[in-house]
Amino acid sequence: MNCFWCCNPEGISPKPALMYSVSKCILCGECAGKCEHHAINIEDGKLNISRSFCLSCEQQNCIDECYSGALRLSGYEISLPKLYGIIRRDRQYWGSEGGLTLTGGEPLLQLDFVKSLLQKCHEDYIHTAIETCGNIPWNNFQEVIPYLDWIFFDLKNSDSNLHLKATSADNKLILENAKRLSTEFPGRLIFRIPLIPGFNDSEENINSVISFLKDTGRKEINILPLHHLGREKYQMLQKSYTGGSHPVPVKESLETIRKMFNASGVDCYIGSETPF
């Protein structure tokens, strides 16, 4: 998916993303000279990157040549034993209430790795959770369900056409998976709404979510209010940020939505004010 408000745009592509910081760049041109695909040029005091070449670039020589640190790669490959070593090292720090949450991008796009990691954590009694957009084949859920304690699942818009426009995917598969998880996942399933004023904060959409929760027997919802903290990352990816044209939700409208859920018997948590 490709949601216009995403605050982790570097995670949308399954490949590591090249991040470029204008404020650190001294326009020395060293990177352009080392790029074997000739993907970088400097014109009128501005550095341009033809990013389609970067997707298949194995060497990323440009980064090694950048002494000012203006170029860096977001994302890297890591082996399961190495990652698990870090998790085990940090375990004491979490305390007894802590655990592992896989997020993204979409963690279940990397099914084999994620399954092995969750299985390992499960064997060692580490609490496990994922945050998912839900737009993945049911089989991917089925494979990891035995090793998961919690699932955070986004409900972005009940109107499939609006969903498609805003995220590049309709909501058919998402709702099917959500319903199935409601009956087949034995752990804690927490639905979430990333609340974007002007996109999904209408009374009609909130009422549709309430009906959905009633149908699936769920009694809690987590609202994640829009914020613009990811704006700078769009600049670093040289992408435009259309989420910026939507205001962040005001407290009064969040409280109105909370009351609507509460009135229908659903506990509504705003942002990080949650019991988990």
Positions in the binding site for ligand SF4 (CB under 6 A): 18, 25-31, 35, 37, 39-40, 47, 49, 53-54, 57, 60-62, 65-66, 68, 70-71
Amino acid identity for residue 14 in this structure: P
The CA–CA distances, whole Å, from 132 to 172, 182, 202, 267 equal 15, 14, 23, 21
CA distance 163 to 135: 12
Separation between Cα atoms, residue 125 and residue 232, nearest integer Å: 38
Comparison of 15 and 259: residue with beta carbon closer to ligand SF4: 15
What 3-state class would DSSP assign to 13? coil
> Nearer Cβ to ligand SF4, position 72 or 258?
72
Q: How far is the CB of 118 from ligand SF4 (least distance, A)?
A: 32
Kindly state the smallest distance separating residue 106's Cβ from ligand SF4, in Å: 23
CA proximity to 148, closest of 103, 107, 118: 118
Nearer to ligand SF4, 35 or 209 (CB): 35
Q: How many CA atoms, within 13 angstroms, populate the side-chain half-sphere of residue 121?
A: 29
Q: Which is nearer to ligand SF4, 40 or 117 (CB)?
A: 40
Shortest Å, Cβ 215 to ligand SF4: 47
Q: How far apart are CA 244 and CA 64, in angstroms?
A: 33
Quick check: 19 and 74 in contact, CB under 8 A? yes
Q: Least CB distance from residue 10 to ligand SF4, whole Å?
A: 14
Q: Smallest gap, in angstroms, from Cβ of residue 193 to ligand SF4? A: 36
Least distance from C-beta 16 to ligand SF4, angstroms? 9
For ligand SF4, the closer CB: 57 or 109? 57
Tokens representing 165 are 């426009």
Tell me whether residue 3 or residue 71 sits nearer to ligand SF4 (CB atom).
71
| Cα 244 from Cα 228, distance rounded (Å) | 7
Amino acid, single-letter form, for residue 269: Y
Residue 98 burial (CB count, 10 A): 13
